Structures are given as structure tokens and as C-alpha cells.
Amino acid sequence: MTATPSLRRTLLLWLLWPLLLIAPAAAALQYALILKPSLQIFDRVLGDNVLAIANFLHAGPAGLQFEMSAQTERSLRTAQTDALFYAVIGPGGELLAGDPPVAEPATAMAVDEWRFYDAEVFDQAVRVAAHGVRCGEAVCQVRVAETRTARDALRNEMIAAIAASLLLFAVATAVTVLVATARGLRPLQRLSRQLGARSLGDLRPLVAADVPGEAVPVVDAMNRLLERVQAGSAAQQAFLADAAHQLRTPLATLKTEAELALLQPHPPELQATLQRLDQAAARAARLSSQLLTLARSDASARAALPLAAVDLKAVATEAVQEWVPRAVDAGIDLGFELQPAVLTGQAFLLREMLANLLHNALTYAGRGAQVTIRTGVAEGAPFLEVEDDGPGIAAADRGRLLQRFQRGDQASGSGSGLGLAIVSDIVQAHGAHIELGEASAGRGLRVWVRFATSPDAGPP
């Protein structure tokens, strides 16, 4: 989705490069501190063998003598897992005893000098310890050669151990980085989920409580932006409310004047014009009042309206006076089934919500229809319901008609398509839930608004 590299990848990459440098350095250190001293122990044991053999070399009056019993030689050769060879070399380079290949190559040595080197004897790789010993006035040499089986086995084991420990270290570090970034990023993911779940009008500042310190400036910047958006939106709503409010008086005057003109004696050819004028004035007045309601139901404007305990039963009872005569005019039987339903909300908006629902029911249900308003508490939640047995709204259209300026295909008369949008806004403003469904009669529309369960709501 994004072209920017992920934080996790960047961290891993930055970790990998130093690891590539650190790993060989650590390996060299382990070689110098552990492997090399261990291999030197083998050389020391080999040196001990040289000294043991040198003990059998004597310089007597009868010349140089080397006297090692066959049994001693056997036990010397078979004491180790590795094969052992030796050579006792006289001052002139001549072989006094032992295996001829060990005496090769002939090199001069000083008394008490030690030399250790790798060579090949009887086609086998060996480690040789050579030592110069005094024999009479001259210098003899004792050399012991040992095959490298035990030595190589130890070296291989140690290299494997070093490699395994470095690998373990690298993997553990990588896993730690992955887990740590995942954990470190979790608060940010929570924040983005929280933002994603927000409704459009929710411009409250983000809470930076559990985001990592590095992200706090981002949250702060976002909050400042939200503040500015909120201020802009509030200004816009205030303008809309003001404009709608300013329009009300001249429109009311216009309507009154049109009504008055209709009552005065007037030329019959003006009758139709005056009636159209009267209707247009009524429509404009209603539209301006709807715009005012929309502006007031907006999140930024709502804060200014007082929140109070409102009984939906009282709201519906107030509507009787205005709506029963209008229902009678429209040939509609308006019924009330009211139970107390107390909630915390804004009375003005709730009255407007009911007015829009009743206006629709009276407009669209048709002559002879039955319209019922119900209030009460169901499962602890206050509700308001307006039901009619008119043509209803097809299920596929319900979602669309809740939006602004959307009207039904068959809708006639002077509507703007704002009524249900206003209802929907007010429902949202109260954190309530709206459902458009079939009426219980099997035909008609049932609008059901269920408010949040309130602890102080009366019993069902």
C-alpha cells in the first residue's frame, strides 16, 4: 500500500549489518581465547612424551645408548587414541631409535630448544614435537609425532559450538527485534483502529496516553489539526444556522402575506398564483427550519445545546396538539401508545426527529391510513417508534433514503429529501440506533429508534 519501508524491515536491516561485522569478530575472539589454548594442551602432552623418551638416552663411556624396553615402547605407543611415532636422532643426524620418517627432514637444534610443527608420516597428517637434548658434548634430538584425530575432533566440535552460539545469538536478536517492534507498534495500531472506527463528526482529540514517546508529536500535530477542523466546521455550522435563522422571519412574513392575500377579495385569475405563492412560502419556511435543525444536530453545534433528562412520552404528548389537526386534515387516524421513556438528550432535537417522522407518515401513508406513535422502554433501552400502514419503503431503498437530499421515486409534493437525513443525524447525535422496517400490519413503514440503555431509565 505504501512505498515507504516498514519500520520492522529498517530495524532488521540496521541490525543485520553490525551483526555481519560482530559475528566474525566474536568468532576470532572465541578462537583466540578458547580454541587455541585447548589445542596447546595437546602440544604440552606431546612434549611430555618427548621428555619421557629422552630419559632413555644416555651418553656413557661406551658412547650414546638408547635403552627403552619393548614393553615401555608398546605402552607409550598405545596409551593414546591417536597413533604415536618417535625418532631419537644422534648429533650427526643418524637415527638412533624409532621410526625413520619422523627423523625427516633433518634440521639442527640447540640444546633445550622446542619446536612444534605439522608434518606427514606414513601418509598420515601428524603433529610433531621436537626437542634438542644434550648427549655428551653434542646435541641430540628427540621427536614425537602424533596423528591428529583427537585434535581435529576437538577443533571441529569447538568450531561447531562457536558457530551454533553465534547463530543462536543472531536469531535471538532478530526475533527480539521483531517482537519488540510488534509490541512497540501496538499502541499505534490501536490508535489507528480507534481513528478508523470514528464517525465523521467525531473530532475529539486523540488520547496520547499509551503511545510511545516518539509518536507523541504526531498525535499532538493531529490533535491540533482536529482542533482546526473542528473550529472550521463549527464556524460553518454557525453560519448555516444563522442564515437559516435569518431566513425564517422574512419567509414567515411572506407566508402570512400570501395567506392574507388569499383571504382578501382578489381577481379570480390571481387565485392560482396566490396559492402557488403560499405553497412555495410554506416549503421555503420548512426548508429553512430543516437546515437549522441540521446545523444544530452537527457535532460541533451540539455542544452548545443543553443536555437534559428528556421523557420521550412528554415529547410525543407535546406533538398531539400540533399533529392531530394535521392528521385529521390528511384523513389519517393518528394513535398514541405512550409509556415513560427517559433518556439524557437534547429535547429540541428529539422534537424535530418526531416531527420529521410524523410529517413523512402523514405525507406518504395516504388517506385512511393508521399511524401509531409508541414510546417506552424495551430491555432497559428507551425507544420511540412511528408506524404507518401506507406503502412503506422497499428494503433496497432504506439505506439511501436516510441520506441528505434523497427522495423516493414515487415521492410527490414539496419535499427536499432532508427529513430522514435529519432523523438519522439526531439518532447519531444521541448514540442511538435506527431501524427502518416493515410495519406489524405486513405493509407500511415502521421506524424504530432505540436509545442507549440508560441506568436511570424507568422499568419496562
Ligand X SMILES: Nc1ncnc2c1ncn2[C@@H]1O[C@H](COP(=O)(O)OP(=O)(O)OP(=O)(O)O)[C@@H](O)[C@H]1O
Interacting residues toward Mg ion by CB under 5 A: 360, 419
Q: Give the CB-nearest residue to ligand X.
A: 408
Of ligand X, Mg ion, none, which one does residue 391 interact with (CB within 5 to 8 Å by kind)?
ligand X
200-to-151, 195, 203, 425, 428 alpha-carbon distances in Å: 75, 10, 8, 11, 11
Residues between 54 and 113 with contacts to ligand X, criterion CB under 6 A: none
Q: What's the min distance (Å) between Cβ of 238 and ligand X? A: 22
Q: Which stretch binds ligand X (CB under 6 A): 130-138, 317-325, 330-338, 389-397?
A: 389-397
Sole binder of ligand X in the list 278, 298, 385, 388 (CB under 6 A): 388
CA–CA separation, 256 vs 380, rounded Å?
46
CA–CA separation, 382 vs 458, rounded Å?
9
Q: What's the min distance (Å) between Cβ of 385 and ligand X? A: 12
- In the complex with ligand X, the residue whose CB is nearer, 107 or 403, is 403
Q: For the chain, how long is the longest CA-to-CA vector?
A: 169
Tell whether residue 358 is a contact of ligand X (CB under 6 A): no
- In the complex with Mg ion, the residue whose CB is nearer, 101 or 366, is 366
- In the complex with Mg ion, the residue whose CB is nearer, 360 or 424, is 360
# of chain residues touching ligand X (CB under 6 A): 23
Tell whether residue 445 is a contact of ligand X (CB under 6 A): yes
Pairing of strands 381-388, 445-450: antiparallel
Query: DSSP readout, 100-162?
Result: GGGGPSP----TT-EEEEEEEETTEEEEEEEEEEEETTEEEEEEEEEESHHHHHHHHHHHHHH
- In the complex with ligand X, the residue whose CB is nearer, 301 or 365, is 365
What does DSSP assign to residue 264?
S
Of ligand X, Mg ion, none, which one does residue 390 interact with (CB within 5 to 8 Å by kind)?
ligand X
Tell whether residue 408 is a contact of ligand X (CB under 6 A): yes
Of Mg ion, ligand X, none, which one does residue 393 interact with (CB within 5 to 8 Å by kind)?
ligand X
Q: Are 376 and 382 in contact (CB under 8 A)?
A: yes
CA–CA separation, 285 vs 244, rounded Å?
9
Q: Are 446 and 440 in contact (CB under 8 A)?
A: yes
Sole binder of ligand X in the list 241, 418, 426, 439 (CB under 6 A): 418
Sole binder of ligand X in the list 58, 411, 431, 460 (CB under 6 A): 411
Tell whether residue 289 is a contact of ligand X (CB under 6 A): no
* Nearest in space to 399 (alpha carbons), one of 418, 373, 422, 420: 420
Q: Is 456 helix (H, G, I), strand (E, B) or coil?
A: coil
Tell whether residue 392 is a contact of ligand X (CB under 6 A): yes
Strands (E), 151-208: none
Q: What share of the chain is helix, strand, coil (3-state, %, to 5)?
A: 55, 20, 25
Tell whether residue 428 is a contact of ligand X (CB under 6 A): no
Sole binder of ligand X in the list 53, 128, 415, 430 (CB under 6 A): 415
Tell whether residue 345 is a contact of ligand X (CB under 6 A): no
* Nearest in space to 336 (alpha carbons), one of 289, 387, 380, 294: 387
Judged by the rule CB under 6 A, the positions of this chain that interact with ligand X are: 290, 356, 360-361, 364-365, 388, 390-393, 401, 407-408, 411, 415-421, 445
